[in-house]
Structure 1
Amino acid sequence: MVVPQTSTYTRENAQCMGPYKVSKEGSPDLCLSAVEFSDIPEMVRLLNINQSVFNGSAIFQYPYLESHARDRIQKAHNTIISTGVNTHWALRLESHSTSPLIGWAHLHFEHYDESKGQSPPIHPKTGRQVKAAEIGYWLSPEHTGKGYAGRMATFLVSEVVLKEMDCDIVRAVSYVDNMASRKVAEKTGMTLELERRPIFVPKLGPGVQKDICIYALHRDDATKGIVKENYDY
């Protein structure tokens, strides 16, 4: 989706704000709604229970500080204002925003810097620019083993990325050794697109690398030859 850079949007007219009921099956009725600054205390608490999210992500820090949470939520709100699309959600056990978050989901749309020689891929059948998004997710250590992450990611892929945002491709990146994250990607219907590639992870220190793998779901088999490899954090 191309949005004029001069446009300004509000939370009232932005897309993908939710709340969404994640699935009709299972209990409780998991919901996704936009992240709020009121989520900061619980977000900090959950991300400091142990190092599971830190160990499984190239982005999240440990210890996780209030400033980390505030910066991340501010960026999410800035994205709404600049693009008119909400891209960060809290997973909650109830639909109202005062319900504590128990997990997190986000997406970003793949972009290409033509000044660096990067060209957006073209759909082989339609001739238009391919729309692609990458999702990420984490779940509170207090709620693992219940299938919540799989339900959350499956809804995000099928209902938000493919339907509401009309994307052609959705991807998820995991550390090769993060089997829990990989299983969630597989539950959404994604298949392995890139088996292994080392990347630098700045939060781990200068020069430290981790092996990642990439999962993808293509709405049309015609785009399966379009593989993204330029991942760095």
Structure 2
Amino acid sequence: MTLEEQAKSQELQTLETIETEITYQVDQDIFLTHFRHSDTAEVYRILNINSSISEGLHSANMTFPYPEERVRIFIERNKYRARNTGSTANVWAIRESVQGPVIGLFALDPCKHREEFYTCTRDTYEPSTVPSLKTISGAAEAQAQKESISASVTNSNVTSTEPIEPTKSLVTEADQQEWLSCSSFGYWVSPEVSGRGIMTKVVTYGISQIARPVFGFERVHGECWTENTASRRVMEKSGMRSATGTPVFVPKFNKVKDIAHYIFDTSVHDP
């Protein structure tokens, strides 16, 4: 390797390190980090193991098989946000170690849905009960993690699902007292690690430790197909309460599917 190549390699490694500085430790062996260019091949492989991820998501873009070029675009878009918008990332790679391979995705997106999605007025707000989260080795680590989260709140903005523009305020001053600040979350996990309780821990952590402390979301929404009993169990075990779901027409399936809808009202007292 030439000196120029070595310098370039070191530069890329440094950039990767900077971009993964905000890392959330969910459990002893579960971490949320930024996505990296080096994740491309593994994400592509996971999304094409079988059709389970595509069938579980209603996004028309989540197809099976899934093109590698779309994986590259997705990762580059999220890296661009992390580097250039000056905002906290809202899409994370799930890993079993900070530098380990990606095993899934978790995202918290702002939503402004009003009556057509669910009535999210302030009089419907009911702070949810948060299941107990285990820490690795005691109170000192838990406190350090809390302080890390609090530090990341300073001057952070909620980012949109678009690659460049940060999201503007979810509500105007005129209706701020009536409407809750809401988010919806999404996820997928490799079929190779499903059934191990990973997503229950990630969702519980995300809706209680990130949604309110980092982004200020007062309510978090989650959805899945009614027949997706595994995802329903994840949301129920995470402390979410069932709400009325609205059937939707899904173009990639060419049929109407019933949705199970869950909500979690965050609290300023969440641990």
Extract unaligned runs of 5+ from structure 1: 1-10, 221-233
Alignment equivalent of 2:71, drawn from 61, 69, 72: 69
Query: How many angstroms apart in 2 are the aligned matches of 1:84 and 1:166?
Result: 14
Alignment equivalent of 2:96, drawn from 93, 105, 110: 93
Q: Is the 8 A contact 2:248 2:256 kept in 1?
A: yes
- Provide the identity percentage: 28
The alignment partner of 1:203 has SS state of coil
Alignment equivalent of 2:198, drawn from 132, 142, 148: 148
Moved over 3 A (4+): 11-14, 77-83, 120-126
2:253 is matched with 204
Per-residue deviation at 1:209? 2.1
Distance 1:146 1:122, change over 3 A: closer
1:22 is matched with 26
Query: How many angstroms apart in 1 are the aligned matches of 2:261 and 2:226?
Result: 9
Per-residue deviation at 1:123? 3.4
Larger RCO of the pair (alpha carbons < 8 Å, separation 6+):
2
Once the two structures are superposed, residues 138-189 of structure 1 have per-residue CA deviations (whole angstroms, 9 ceiling, x without a partner) of 1111111111111111111111112222211011111111111111111211
1:58 maps onto 2:58 in alignment: yes
Provide the aligned C-alpha RMSD in A. 3.0
Which structure: larger Rg? Answer: 2
Per-residue deviation at 1:135? 0.6
Alignment equivalent of 2:263, drawn from 189, 192, 216: 216
Amino acid at match of 1:202: P
Distance 1:128 1:13, change over 3 A: farther
Query: How many angstroms apart in 2 are the aligned matches of 1:112 and 1:175?
Result: 19
Per-residue deviation at 1:86? 0.5
Amino acid at match of 1:218: D
Query: How many angstroms apart in 1 are the aligned matches of 2:39 and 2:221?
Result: 27
Q: Is the 8 A contact 1:23 1:155 kept in 2?
A: no
Q: Could you state the TM-score of these two structures normalised by the residue count of structure 1?
A: 0.73
Alignment equivalent of 1:172, drawn from 213, 222, 232: 222
Once the two structures are superposed, residues 178-227 of structure 1 have per-residue CA deviations (whole angstroms, 9 ceiling, x without a partner) of 11111111121101111x4221223334xx3221121001136xxxxxxx
Q: Is the 8 A contact 1:39 1:100 kept in 2?
A: yes
Per-residue deviation at 1:37? 2.4
Q: Could you state the TM-score of these two structures normalised by the residue count of structure 2?
A: 0.64
Q: Is the 8 A contact 1:168 1:219 kept in 2?
A: yes
Once the two structures are superposed, residues 82-109 of structure 1 have per-residue CA deviations (whole angstroms, 9 ceiling, x without a partner) of 471311111111113xx21011111210
Distance 1:214 1:78, change over 3 A: farther
